[in-house]
Amino acid sequence: MIRVRAFQLALVGGAIVALETLCRAGIIDRFTMIPPSEMLLALAGVMGTEPWFWPDVSYTLGNLAAAIALSVAGGFLIGLVVHAIPRLRRVLDPIFTSYYSVPTFVLYPLLIVFFGIGPASLIVLGALFGIVAMIVATVTAIDRIPRVLLKVARVSRLGPVRTALLMKLPAASPHLMTGLRLAVAYSVIGVIAGEFILSTEGIGRRVALAYNNFDNQTMYALLVLILAFAIAVNAVLGSLEQALHRRWYRS
């Protein structure tokens, strides 16, 4: 494991050093990309001096939190209903399997007409992105609950509420966690993409503005921030998910 980590570190570090060298040597010109070290310095500068930075970050994070809450809670509830009605599940199956193959972004203009430019459109776009992953994960999670646990619940004469809380929910938790991770990742994409396409505030909006103004310093600073955020969130949720899977499916 340590060897794997060392290789990963070397690989990522090597890529960054290579990029830095190429930029410094002028093989990649400054109008295309600034050296990674300057991106970090620019990020520190943007954080410290730009008055819009923290309001825009909190705007994006607020929308993100709302979109994630909507997609996770909504996806879980819809998943329960879909699982309970086999007919509904069969009818909706084509939607679930092709949902992520259609470009959902094209709905954004319609959402803007509907909700206006502002948080509501962004939140709904983010939630639309995440919700189907959560629905599918919920249905899978209930499918995978071992039958024997339900028998144990019956033998122990647990009521329906306690069966759900003590037996079903823990047993379903690994796949629910997978759904949560995907829903978060998709909501991040939806919200930031929505801001990037059309918005008045938010970090995605700032990236688009910086690009239009040829302000590479600010643009790359914000890109580094967004990428680091997305990768960190994914890594944390991914390790939680793996821990749950290991606990339940020890071979």
Partner 1 sequence: MTARARLLDYVLLAGGLGLAWVLLFAWAGPEALSPPGATLRRVAEYLTSPQFWPHAAATGIAFAYACLIALIGGLALGFALGANRLAGQVGEPILSSLYSIPKITLYPVILLVFGLGISAKVAFGALHGFFPVALFTIGALKNTSPVLIKTARVLRLAPLATARTVLLPAALPEIVTGLRIGFSATLLGTLIGELFASDQGLGFMLIRAMEAHKVLDIMALTLLLFAFAATANMLLLAVERRMHRR
Work out whether 128 is an interface residue with partner 1 (CB under 8 A): no
Looking at residues 3 to 32 of the shown chain, list those that interact with partner 1 (rule: CB under 8 A). Answer: 3-4, 7-8, 11-12, 31-32
Looking at residues 165 to 204 of the shown chain, list those that interact with partner 1 (rule: CB under 8 A). Answer: 185, 188-189, 192-193, 196-197, 204
Work out whether 37 is an interface residue with partner 1 (CB under 8 A): no
Looking at residues 138 to 167 of the shown chain, list those that interact with partner 1 (rule: CB under 8 A). Answer: none
Q: Interface with partner 1 by CB under 8 A: which range of 52-60, 78-86, 98-106, 149-157?
A: 98-106
Query: For residues 69-103, b (16+ Cβ closer than 10 Å) or e, as one string?
Result: ebbbebbbebbeebbeeeeeeeebeeeeeebeeee
Q: Interface with partner 1 by CB under 8 A: which range of 18-26, 65-73, 104-112, 145-153?
A: 104-112
Least CB distance from residue 58 to partner 1, whole Å? 18
- The smaller minimum CB distance to partner 1, of residues 41 and 223, is found at 223
Work out whether 101 is an interface residue with partner 1 (CB under 8 A): yes
Q: Interface with partner 1 by CB under 8 A: which range of 66-74, 101-109, 146-154, 162-170?
A: 101-109
Cα torsion angle, 204, 210, 214, 216, sign: negative
Work out whether 130 is an interface residue with partner 1 (CB under 8 A): no
Work out whether 124 is an interface residue with partner 1 (CB under 8 A): no
Rule CB under 8 A: which residues touch partner 1?
A: 3-4, 7-8, 11-12, 31-33, 90-95, 97-98, 100-103, 105-107, 109-110, 113-114, 185, 188-189, 192-193, 196-197, 204, 207-208, 211, 216, 219, 222-223, 226-227, 230-231, 234-235, 238
